[in-house]
Amino acid sequence: MNFTLASEFESVPHAEPRQPWKNTKLTILRSVFSFTVAAVLAALIAQVTPLAGRLGWFVAMAFTFPAVMAVVAYKRGSRAMADQMVTGIVLIGFTSVMIPWVSIVATVISRGLKAFYVGFLTTDMLVNQPDDPLNMGGVSHAIVGTLIQVLLASVVAVPLGIIAAIYIVEIRGRGAGVVRFFTQAMSGVPSIVAGLFVYATVVVTITHKFNAVAGALALAILMLPTVARTAEEVLKVVSDDLRASSQALGASQVATTFRVVLPTIRSGLITAAVLGVARVAGETAPLLLTSQYFVKFNTNIFDGPMASLPTYIFSSLGVGTDNSVARAWAASAVLLTLIFILFTIARLFGGRNRKSH
Amino acid sequence: MQADAELEVSIDIPEHRKLQVTQGTPDRIFRYIITTGAYFSLAVLAMIAGFLLYRGFQIFSDFGLGFITGAKWDAGSGDETAPAVFGVAAMLVGSLVIAIMAIAIALPFAVISALFLEYYAPLAIRRFLISILDLVAAIPSVIYGIWGYAILMPHVVGWSKSLNSWFGWFPLFDVPAPIFDRSPFVAGVLLALMVLPITTSVAREVYSQAPRDQIDAAYGLGATKWGALRTVVLPFGKSGLIGGAMLGLGRALGETIAVYLVLNLVFKINLQVLASAGGNVASMIATRFGEAGPYELRALMAAGLVLFLLTLVVNALATLIVNRSKVQ
Amino acid sequence: MTLSLVGTVRRGSFFHNIDLRVERGEVFGIVGRNGAGKSTLLHTIAGLIGLSDGELSVNGTVWDNPSSHTWLEPGERSCGVVFQDLRLFPRMTVMQNISFGLRSRGIAQHEATDRATVMMQSVGLDVSYSSRNVQQLSGGERQRVALARALVLQPEVLLLDEPFTGVDQHSLGGLRNLLKEVVAEFSGYVVLVSHNQTDIETISSRTLMIQ
């Protein structure tokens, strides 16, 4: 008899595997086999029933795949059959969840490209009617309007969001729980209510006219919770040792926060801001009540309506002719691209931030 | 010895001092500013309620409880012959019907997606799929709306016809006329899709905190993967899932533009979800806002207040439930 | 007739080399300090961790061999585990806990209940406990539930991970005697690990110290 049990670096905690289950070659082979059989069966079923097209095949698949998975496990008993059936349901279920989103992106891009020409990004709608041919007019005014209003919203919401996060994480005041709770509750304010509120306060009481600042304020209300929550998560990553060592050297809390804590998480704060922007860049309802839509770029942010991509889409849809709806799709593609770019930026900064810790 | 004696003399043990953190003036100002700023969100919430109440107060005093219980919304002709009548009952019922339908459809898919992401997806693509989920959560509602109208609705109309022909005897699936587009069902399916990301990500987060020890124990005693998930993960995540569903419900109640685009606004309490008539408070405000006179604007403010309070309660409850289930 | 485990377990950048042979009927005790890999060893036999190379076989049946793609899931292994810190299912009753393994193997409800009831009596648990929630039990009683949960499977291999931790002093004696009895009647393989040498020596027929 012979026994050794030697481990290297044994006192260091192990990187635990996430799950105890093993995907062996055999289980993967079984799944692939079941998938193939189920696919063929589903095609046959789609032939003999009213289920038509790729979607009809997929619906049939949603039944055949879990069933075949279960049948393949027949020899291993009823528990194994139930397990395999659930595996089939989970795989099919997740795939079916992805279908609409793939469809949204694919439809917006393919329909958007039909109405798209280079000038679409550089001209406005001042001299064109929504129903004009698709090689005239564009969304330059809406792009600029969206950027201006989102920028103005950021000027308000980003500092306030970061302040809320600083209060919760750095100051740890008595009201930290309350502030966090109400900031989270604020994220549930319906966007139309934010618009109605700004309309009731700013537009009716002060400016008496639709304007871009009102639109930006409505967006700021919706943006604040996203910034606050992301900033809070980022601030929590900073180790207390860093704060303690700064204060041990005699630094005040102000200096610790602004010279030590915030600089180390700069990229994380940028992520927070960008996610906030992505959250509101596509908001339509609040802008309909505050900055409305106008056919050309408005240089005065305090006076008169200002276009934005979402309200451009909305008003083009409202016109309802073939060409105006095509314009709406093209503008949707522009808006979706803008949001995806913002998201990628946020991820890039977030990734860099994580690496530095 | 002499050195010791000297030492004894020289050592002067101070009085026990209380450790005091002196706060400089800059720090006090800093704390003051941050604290004030932090309470801003609270102030905004209070101001929203306050201003909407202030602007809509006349409506509440004119119509009283009838504003909540009445289904008729008519700006009138401005004179004695046809006085204005405002009630949000039809829209409130519509909001609830659509939102509950959306959650009922979304919840099973959210559970499946969360289980997939946490326990079935290969580790290599897991992070990627989770960021996809974050990304689709940011798709603007106007884009959901335009896609819902152009692509989703024709499909849902087909499903509605089948539902109606098989289950038409059931009052909810009956229709007064065979018109199935722009129905509450269409809006419910679209909203299900829109609330899926947030519900899934809450569920996933809760499931990820299920005790690994217990999962191991179940598996080690011979349970299958599904057996372990059913024994340990699903019971553990139950309350978190309810919280996530309620967060989704809050979102669905307040959705405006997507509902506006796929739902036919009719001021009548309608529970026949396949029929082409319905509405919700949010989209009604957007619809009526453009042509409303001063008196109707007040009514819209009052409707906004009702919607605000409803979503606030739902969201506050959801937040409480989710936070509590995270603490466990 | 042996239980043989020879090979390597990898977890991230750490690895354990294992070479273990246990004869049938033997009670094999392993003593070692915390972190020496005792639990890892038991989890490998139970099927919670796979070997990265080598082979695990019991009575000549291969349970795990990566090079020949042989892998039996825990449910297919004739193996009962008493986990360190027990890991009873907190939302379940005593009966549900004990019959869990049987139900997982597809045994019908009434038969599982019958067998679990018999097992409860033989580990000294009153039958009236069966509908109690496990969180209401004392440390010693919980330990008995965990033992019953493993034994009710009538396993070929019984794995005991620190069976005396979390047990209060006055039920320790009774539990030690119970375990002695159980182990003496047990005809398969028993592998028992602990950080406490005296615990092990009173029960096991062969003891090994590891670093």
In this predicted complex, what is the ipTM? 0.91
Nearest alpha-carbon partner for A342 in A91, A116, A154, A102: A154
Task: Please report the pLDDT score of residue B245 as a whole number.
Answer: 93
Nearest alpha-carbon partner for B194 in B241, B254, B237, B239: B254
Task: Please report the pLDDT score of residue A353 as a whole number.
Answer: 42
Q: Is C42 on the interface with A (CB under 8 A)?
A: no
d(CA C40, CA C46): 10
AA identity, residue B73: W
Q: Is C75 on the interface with B (CB under 8 A)?
A: yes
AA identity, residue B10: S
Q: Is A221 exposed, middle or buried (0-12, 13-18, 19+ CB in 10 A)?
A: buried
**b/e code A106-132 from CB counts within 10 Å (16+ = b):** ebbeebbeebbeeebeebbbeeeebee
Q: Is A125 on the interface with B (CB under 8 A)?
A: no
- CB-CB contact of B273 with B167 (8 Å): no
d(CA C152, CA C116): 6
Distance of CA A204 to the CA centre of its chain: 32
d(CA C58, CA A24): 20
Which token pair is A341? 């770019």
pTM value > 0.95: no
**Mean pLDDT confidence for B9-38:** 71
Nearest alpha-carbon partner for A218 in A312, A271, A292, A166: A292
Q: What is the pLDDT of residues B299-325, one digit of tens each?
A: 999 999 999 999 999 999 998 888 887
AA identity, residue C32: G
- CB-CB contact of B107 with B199 (8 Å): yes
Nearest alpha-carbon partner for B112 in B188, B231, B197, B200: B200
Provide the β-strand partners of residue B86.
Answer: B73
Q: Is C35 exposed, middle or buried (0-12, 13-18, 19+ CB in 10 A)?
A: middle
Find the range with the poorest average confidence among B56-60, B79-83, C19-23.
B79-83
Which token pair is A248? 């041990």
B73-74 and B85-86 strand pairing? antiparallel
Which token pair is B176? 């007064």
> CB under 8 Å to C1, separation ≥6 — which residues?
C23, C24, C59
Task: Please report the pLDDT score of residue C13 as a whole number.
Answer: 65
C53-58 and C61-65 strand pairing? antiparallel
Q: What is the 3-state secondary structure (H, E, C) of B181-244?
A: CCCHHHHHHHHHHHHHHHHHHHHHHHHHCCCHHHHHHHHHCCCCHHHHHHHHHHHHCHHHHHHH
> CB under 8 Å to B225, separation ≥6 — which residues?
A21, A83, A86, A87, B119, B219
Residues in chain C within 8 Å Cβ distance of A2: 19, 21
Could you tell me the strand order of the sheet in which C79-82 lies? C79-82, C157-161, C189-194, C27-32, C206-210
Q: Which residue has the higher pLDDT, B289 or A19?
A: B289
d(CA B307, CA B302): 9
pLDDT band at B186 (very low <50, low <70, confident <90, very high): very high
d(CA A285, CA A313): 12
Task: Please report the pLDDT score of residue A6 as a whole number.
Answer: 43
For chain B, the chains sharing at least 3 beta-carbon pairs closer than 8 angstroms are: A, C
- pLDDT 10s digit of each residue in chain A, 357 long? 344 444 433 333 444 456 788 878 888 899 999 999 999 999 999 888 777 788 889 999 999 999 999 999 998 888 889 999 999 999 999 999 999 999 999 999 999 999 899 889 988 888 888 888 888 888 999 999 999 999 999 999 999 999 999 999 988 878 888 998 888 888 889 999 999 999 999 998 888 889 999 999 999 999 999 999 999 999 988 888 888 888 888 888 888 888 889 988 888 899 899 999 999 999 999 999 999 888 888 888 888 899 999 999 999 999 889 999 999 999 999 999 999 999 888 888 875 444 333
Residues in chain A within 8 Å Cβ distance of C50: 22
- Return residues 17-36 of C near A (CB < 8 Å): 17-21, 30, 32, 35-36
For the domain made up of B89-327, give the CATH fold: MetI-like fold (1.10.3720)
Q: Is A79 on the interface with C (CB under 8 A)?
A: yes
- Between helix B238-254 and helix B184-208 the angle, nearest 10°, is 150
Q: What is the pLDDT of residues B49-79, one digit of tens each?
A: 999 999 999 999 999 899 999 888 988 876 7
Residues in chain A within 8 Å Cβ distance of C99: none
Task: Please report the pLDDT score of residue B200 as a whole number.
Answer: 94
Q: Which of B213, B221, B224, B230 to mutate to test the interface with C (most CBs of C within 10 A)?
A: B221
Extents of the domains making up chain B: 89-327
- CB-CB contact of A152 with A216 (8 Å): yes
Task: Please report the pLDDT score of residue C16 as a whole number.
Answer: 80
Is residue B135 classed as helix, strand or coil in its secondary structure? helix
d(CA A66, CA A86): 7
Q: Is A344 exposed, middle or buried (0-12, 13-18, 19+ CB in 10 A)?
A: middle
Residues in chain A within 8 Å Cβ distance of C14: 7-10, 12, 14-15
d(CA C83, CA C99): 16
Nearest-CA distance A49 → chain B (Å): 13
C2-11 and C53-58 strand pairing? antiparallel
Task: Please report the pLDDT score of residue B12 as a whole number.
Answer: 57
Please list the residue range(s) of chain A that carry CATH number 1.10.3720.10.
140-356
Nearest-CA distance B230 → chain C (Å): 12
- CB-CB contact of A143 with A309 (8 Å): yes
Mean pLDDT over each residue of chain B, to the nearest integer? 88
Nearest to B235 among C77, C91, C105 (CB): C91
Range with top average pLDDT, A108-112, A270-274, B128-132, B235-239: A108-112
- Return residues 39-78 of A near C (CB < 8 Å): 77-78
pLDDT band at B6 (very low <50, low <70, confident <90, very high): very low
Nearest-CA distance B197 → chain A (Å): 10
Residues in chain B within 8 Å Cβ distance of C153: 221-222
Helix residue ranges per DSSP H, A73-139: 78-114
pLDDT band at B157 (very low <50, low <70, confident <90, very high): very high
Residues in chain B within 8 Å Cβ distance of A225: 41
- CB-CB contact of B187 with B262 (8 Å): yes
Please name the residue of chain B whose CA is at the shortest distance from the CA of residue A173: B35
> CB under 8 Å to B209, separation ≥6 — which residues?
B236, B326
Task: Please report the pLDDT score of residue A10 as a whole number.
Answer: 38
CATH superfamily name and code, A140-356: MetI-like (1.10.3720.10)
Task: Please report the pLDDT score of residue B1 as a whole number.
Answer: 40
pLDDT band at B104 (very low <50, low <70, confident <90, very high): very high
Instruction: Look at the alpha carbons of C152, C156, C160, C163 in this order and tell me if their dihedral is positive or negative.
Output: positive
Task: Please report the pLDDT score of residue B5 as a whole number.
Answer: 43
C53-58 and C27-32 strand pairing? unpaired
Is residue B85 classed as helix, strand or coil in its secondary structure? strand
Q: Token pair 């619809």 is at which residue?
A: B287
In total, chain B counts a number of residues equal to 328
Q: Is A4 on the interface with C (CB under 8 A)?
A: yes
- DSSP H helix total and E strand total for chain A: 14, 1
d(CA B86, CA B296): 8
Task: Please report the pLDDT score of residue A355 as a whole number.
Answer: 35
pLDDT band at B20 (very low <50, low <70, confident <90, very high): very low
AA identity, residue A343: F
The DSSP output letter for A118 is G
AA identity, residue B108: P
Q: Is B217 on the interface with C (CB under 8 A)?
A: yes
DSSP-assigned states of every residue in A151-214: HHHHHHHHHHHHHHHHIIIII--TTHHHHHHHHHHHTTS-HHHHHHHHIIIIIIIIISS--HHH
Which token pair is B214? 């217990």
Range with top average pLDDT, A15-19, B188-192, C6-10, C100-104: B188-192
- Cβ separation of A22 and C106 shorter than 8 Å? no
Biggest CA–CA distance in chain B, Å, is 114
Task: Please report the pLDDT score of residue B11 as a whole number.
Answer: 55
Nearest-CA distance A90 → chain C (Å): 20
d(CA C143, CA C125): 10
Task: Please report the pLDDT score of residue B14 as a whole number.
Answer: 59
Task: Please report the pLDDT score of residue A135 as a whole number.
Answer: 83
d(CA C42, CA B68): 65
